[in-house]
Structure 1
Amino acid sequence: MRWLIVSDIFGHTPELESWCARLPGEAQIVQPYSTQPPRFADDHAAYAHFTVHSDIERFAARVLDGVKRFQPQRVVGFSAGGAAAWLAACSDSFSARQLLCFYPGQVRHYLNKQPQVPCELIFAAHEAHFDVQAVMAKLSHLAGVKVRDCAYAHGFMNPLSAGFDACAETYFTDYLCN
């Protein structure tokens, strides 16, 4: 199995590399930056850096380039990386077979898009800036799109995030691997 992992706004971190090593097969990481940013003190510092140095559209272009170069079967995106992967999957040139996104809140700005491959979007229980259930309801009508929420906070898969939950991370890693 070939995986393209689309990082969140923390970028290509040692923690993400360690997580990728648990996946069966070969994984490649795409991040929103041309070089790895410094370690962030918290989610707010990471977000501030992202808003200055990238955006979802530029990140989506990086995802499409990664798909073209690496030819993965599965693409997994986290947070802004999930939204960028979603936007990339709506392109005719997206050649992966499947997309899974964790807490991709920014997809709320792209609800008029239709992905070209089967997608599963797993939302956090709550988001401060939008109504998760309303976004899920709009996305659930799209062909090939499966949406669900979970009981965890935004960032539950990233040990660097305030929302990290080790049990959730283990559960969803096993979910991906089986």
Structure 2
Amino acid sequence: MTSRSLGDRSHDTAVVVAHEIYGVNDHIIGVARMLRPYRCDVFTPSFLPSGFVYPREDERQAYREFMRTPGVMSMSQALVQFTGGLRERYRRVLCIGFSVGATSAWLASGAGAVDKTVCFYGSRIRDHLDVQPAAPCLVVFAAQEPSFSAPAVAEKLAGRRDVVTEIYPCRHGFCDPGSPHYSAEHAHQAWESATRFLGLSR
């Protein structure tokens, strides 16, 4: 596993950004940059072999290779291990995950690996509804998902202890400026909600 960090490691809060199938691409690096003004140290570990980054136009290959290795379960286990390594240096360890990174973060939250989690359009969370996060978790869904009903999954999560759900009238990837489904307005709203939920301050 390779890892990049932004910041001088002078804060008591660490934020881990868990990537999508593409790896640590421009979107993930952009998220880390957006976190710079906040009082936290940011980490963007790559869970792909040798830190590989897939071009966005290679979505099918990226998905196929991700499912072969590492896959969601292995990525979540590696995420638990990575956040565990931060515990000795930080008072709070937080996580923001996108797509497969969001599902991995959801699983890691169930293992008690982080203090708070935000999961952006983690489609496969629907396969792990038995997981009970051990700390507060914000699940952000896009309403227009082709493979499942986000409102139906949100309804199943309703009333779950420490779980908050939000649904935006967008498509998968709406927070990624490089995605054809990007929505600047809703991305801004979701980001403000996420940073408030995590308790991040400037």
1:2 positional shift: 1.8
2:59 equivalent among 43, 47, 56: 43
Where has structure 1 moved over 4 Å in runs of 4 or more?
Answer: none
Partner of 1:81: 101
The structure with the largest alpha-carbon Rg is 2
Partner of 1:157: 175
State the identity %. Answer: 23
The alignment status of 1:129 with 2:144, answered yes or no, reads: no
1:154 positional shift: 0.5
In structure 1, what residue type is equivalent to 2:108? A
> Which whole-Å CA distance do the structure 1 matches of 2:154 and 2:104 have between them?
17
In structure 1, what residue type is equivalent to 2:72? I
CA contact (8 A) 1:156 1:163 kept: yes
CA contact (8 A) 2:20 2:100 kept: yes
1:80 positional shift: 0.7
List gaps (5 residues or longer) in structure 1: none
CA contact (8 A) 2:117 2:138 kept: yes
Give deviations 1:67-107, integer Å, cap 9, x for gaps.
11123532111111000010111114x1x211111101101
In structure 1, what residue type is equivalent to 2:69? H
Partner of 1:30: 45
Q: How do 1:85-124 and structure 2 match up within 5 A? A: 85-92=105-112, 94=113, 96-124=114-142
> Which whole-Å CA distance do the structure 2 matches of 1:65 and 1:20 have between them?
20
The alignment status of 1:166 with 2:177, answered yes or no, reads: no
**Distance change >3 Å, CA 161–CA 5, structure 1 → 2:** same
**Distance change >3 Å, CA 18–CA 87, structure 1 → 2:** same
List gaps (5 residues or longer) in structure 2: 1-12, 197-202
User: What is the TM-score with the length of structure 2 in the denominator?
Assistant: 0.78
The alignment status of 1:140 with 2:158, answered yes or no, reads: yes
User: What is the TM-score with the length of structure 1 in the denominator?
Assistant: 0.88
CA contact (8 A) 2:25 2:53 kept: no
> Which whole-Å CA distance do the structure 1 matches of 2:18 and 2:178 have between them?
16
